[in-house]
Structure 1
Amino acid sequence: MFTQRLVFPASVLRGRGAIKHLGAMCGRLGQRALLVGGARAIASVEPQVADQLDQQMVSYLGADTLSGECCQQQIAQLAERLTRQGVEVVIATGGGRALDTAKIAAVMCNIPVVTLPSVAATCAAVTPLAFRYHANGQFRDMLPLANGPAAAVIDADLLVNAPLSWLAAGVGDTLAKWYEYRAIADLDNLSGLSGVARTNSELCYTLIKHFAADACLAVQQRQANRALEQVLDAIFLYAGLTSIMSNGAHTAAAHALYEGFTACDKTRHIAHGLLVGFGNLCLLALEQRSDDELLAAIALARASAIPTHIDEFAPTLNEAELQQIIEHSLNAADMANMPFDVNYQQMREAIARVQQLSGPKS
Structure 2
Amino acid sequence: MANRIFGSVGWYIQGPGLLEEIGRHLKPLGRRIAVVADEVVWGIIGPAFDKARGDIDPQHLMFAGENTREEVACLVDGASDSDVVVGAGGGKALDAAKLVAYRLGKPMVSFPTIASTDAPASRISILYTPEGAVDEIVVLPEPPRLVLVDTAVIARAPSRFLVAGMGDGLSTWFEAKACYQAKGKNKHGGRPTLAALAIAERCCRTILENGLGALEAVKRGSVTDALEAVVEANILLSGVGFENGGVALAHAINNGLSALPEFHSAMHGEKVAFGLLVQCLVEGAERDYKRLKQFYTKVGLPLHLGALGYEGQPEDVADRVASHVFTRELDKIANEPVSVTLEGLKEAFLHADSLGRREEGLE
Tell me the TM-score normalized by structure 1: 0.90
**Residues 1:174 and 2:191 are matched in the alignment:** no
Deviates more, 1:157-166 or 1:123-132: 123-132
Deviates more, 1:205-214 or 1:25-34: 25-34
Residue identity matched to 1:21: E
Query: Which among 61, 65, 89 is matched to residue 64 of structure 1?
Result: 61
**Residues 1:351 and 2:353 are matched in the alignment:** no
Q: Indicate the residue corresponding to 1:271 in structure 2.
A: 267
**Residues 1:220 and 2:219 are matched in the alignment:** yes
**Residues 1:262 and 2:258 are matched in the alignment:** yes
Mapped to 1, the partners of 2:213 and 2:62 lie a distance apart of 33
Q: Indicate the residue corresponding to 1:100 in structure 2.
A: 95
Equivalent runs, 1:276-355 vs 2, <5 Å: 276-290=272-286, 292-318=287-313, 319-333=315-329, 334-355=332-353
Report how many aligned residue pairs link the two structures: 353
Equivalent runs, 1:1-362 vs 2, <5 Å: 7-51=7-51, 53-56=52-55, 58-61=56-59, 63-83=60-80, 86-186=81-181, 194-246=193-245, 250-290=246-286, 292-318=287-313, 319-333=315-329, 334-358=332-356, 359=358, 361=360
Mapped to 2, the partners of 1:341 and 1:268 lie a distance apart of 30
Mapped to 1, the partners of 2:342 and 2:191 lie a distance apart of 35
Quick one: structure 1 residues 260 and 213, their matched pair in 2 at CA, closer, same or farther if it must change by over 3 Å? Answer: same
- Verify the 8 A CA contact 1:36 1:90 in the aligned structure 2: yes
Mapped to 1, the partners of 2:219 and 2:169 lie a distance apart of 20
Deviates more, 1:348-357 or 1:209-218: 348-357
Offset of 1:68 from its aligned partner? 3.7
Quick one: structure 1 residues 295 and 111, their matched pair in 2 at CA, closer, same or farther if it must change by over 3 Å? Answer: same
Identity within the alignment, %: 24
Residue identity matched to 1:78: L
SS in 1 for 2:121: coil
Deviates more, 1:65-74 or 1:207-216: 65-74
SS in 2 for 1:67: coil
SS in 2 for 1:9: coil
Quick one: structure 1 residues 15 and 233, their matched pair in 2 at CA, closer, same or farther if it must change by over 3 Å? Answer: same
Residue identity matched to 1:48: A
Offset of 1:28 from its aligned partner? 1.0
Residue identity matched to 1:338: E
- Verify the 8 A CA contact 1:88 1:112 in the aligned structure 2: yes
SS in 1 for 2:311: coil
- Verify the 8 A CA contact 1:207 1:231 in the aligned structure 2: yes
In structure 1, the gaps of 5 or more residues are none
SS in 1 for 2:213: helix
Deviates more, 1:192-201 or 1:162-171: 192-201
SS in 2 for 1:251: coil
SS in 1 for 2:120: coil
SS in 2 for 1:185: helix
Offset of 1:3 from its aligned partner? 7.5
Mapped to 2, the partners of 1:4 and 1:180 lie a distance apart of 17
- Verify the 8 A CA contact 1:7 1:146 in the aligned structure 2: no
Offset of 1:345 from its aligned partner? 2.4
Mapped to 1, the partners of 2:140 and 2:288 lie a distance apart of 37
Mapped to 2, the partners of 1:341 and 1:39 lie a distance apart of 47
- Verify the 8 A CA contact 2:167 2:269 in the aligned structure 1: yes
Instruction: Output one character per residue of 1:105-124: Cα deviation in whole Å (capped at 9) or x when no partner.
Output: 11110112221101101111
SS in 2 for 1:40: helix
Instruction: Output one character per residue of 1:325-350: Cα deviation in whole Å (capped at 9) or x when no partner.
Output: 22112323223322334223222222
SS in 1 for 2:261: coil
Mapped to 1, the partners of 2:263 and 2:183 lie a distance apart of 38
Instruction: Output one character per residue of 1:166-207: Cα deviation in whole Å (capped at 9) or x when no partner.
Output: 111111111110111112212889999521111111001110
Mapped to 1, the partners of 2:64 and 2:259 lie a distance apart of 20
Deviates more, 1:91-100 or 1:3-12: 3-12
Instruction: Output one character per residue of 1:238-257: Cα deviation in whole Å (capped at 9) or x when no partner.
Output: 112213434xxx11111111
Residue identity matched to 1:70: N
Instruction: Output one character per residue of 1:247-275: Cα deviation in whole Å (capped at 9) or x when no partner.
Output: xxx11111111111112111033211110
SS in 1 for 2:118: coil
